[in-house]
Amino acid sequence: MSGGTAHTAGGQAPVQYGVVDAVKMIRMEEFGRLHKNPCVRDAFMVGIGAGFGVGGVAVVVGRTIRKSCSYAVAALCFGSFAMHEMCKVKLKREKDGMRRAVEVMDQKKIAKEREREARRKEREAERERKEEEERVVRERKWWKVL
């Protein structure tokens, strides 16, 4: 059984997708919304700056235009990739920090509820103790001093 599938029930063979199929699935509208994805705008800006800087330095140093452009494109790709990864790590840390903050707030809320319940029970016990004392005083004979 090559491919690891068996269609013993007479079903259709699984469709094999390739690179061409993946490219066909990309729509032009997605490129219009690309900058709205988290970290993409910052990554592009850093990449453009890195490409401009590296390409400009390469021209000033005396490289050919073709090599300078290649360096600029490589710097753009590397800078964009590096910035995007750094941004994703930062977002993950923020998300973890927020999760921890929510957990701490939940723990504090539970602790406050426990403390409030303990104070309520303490007041209830104090009230019952006073009622018991008053009952004992009321039941004493009035002619007896102690």
Q: Per-residue pLDDT tens for 25-50?
A: 888 887 788 778 889 999 999 999 99
How many domains are contained in the chain?
1
Domain assignment present for residue 8? The answer is no
pLDDT band at 10 (very low <50, low <70, confident <90, very high): low
Domain assignment present for residue 47? The answer is yes
In percent, how much of the chain has pLDDT > 70? Answer: 89
Average pLDDT of 110-131?
Answer: 95
Domain assignment present for residue 57? The answer is yes
Helices (H), the chain: 19-24, 28-32, 40-61, 65-139
To the nearest 10 degrees (0 to 180), the angle between helices 65-139 and 40-61 is 150
pLDDT recorded at residue 6: 60
**Has residue 11 got a pLDDT over 90?**
no
**Of 114 and 8, more confident:** 114
Domain assignment present for residue 37? The answer is yes
Domain around 72: 33-137
Domain assignment present for residue 6? The answer is no
Domain assignment present for residue 87? The answer is yes
Average pLDDT of 13-23?
Answer: 83
pLDDT band at 144 (very low <50, low <70, confident <90, very high): low
Q: What is the pTM of this model?
A: 0.59
**Has residue 124 got a pLDDT over 90?**
yes
Domain assignment present for residue 84? The answer is yes
**Has residue 109 got a pLDDT over 80?**
yes
**Has residue 3 got a pLDDT over 60?**
no
Domain assignment present for residue 26? The answer is no
Residue 99 to residue 107: CA distance in whole angstroms: 12
In the chain, the amino acid numbered 82 is A
Residue 44 to residue 31: CA distance in whole angstroms: 13
Residue 100 to residue 75: CA distance in whole angstroms: 37
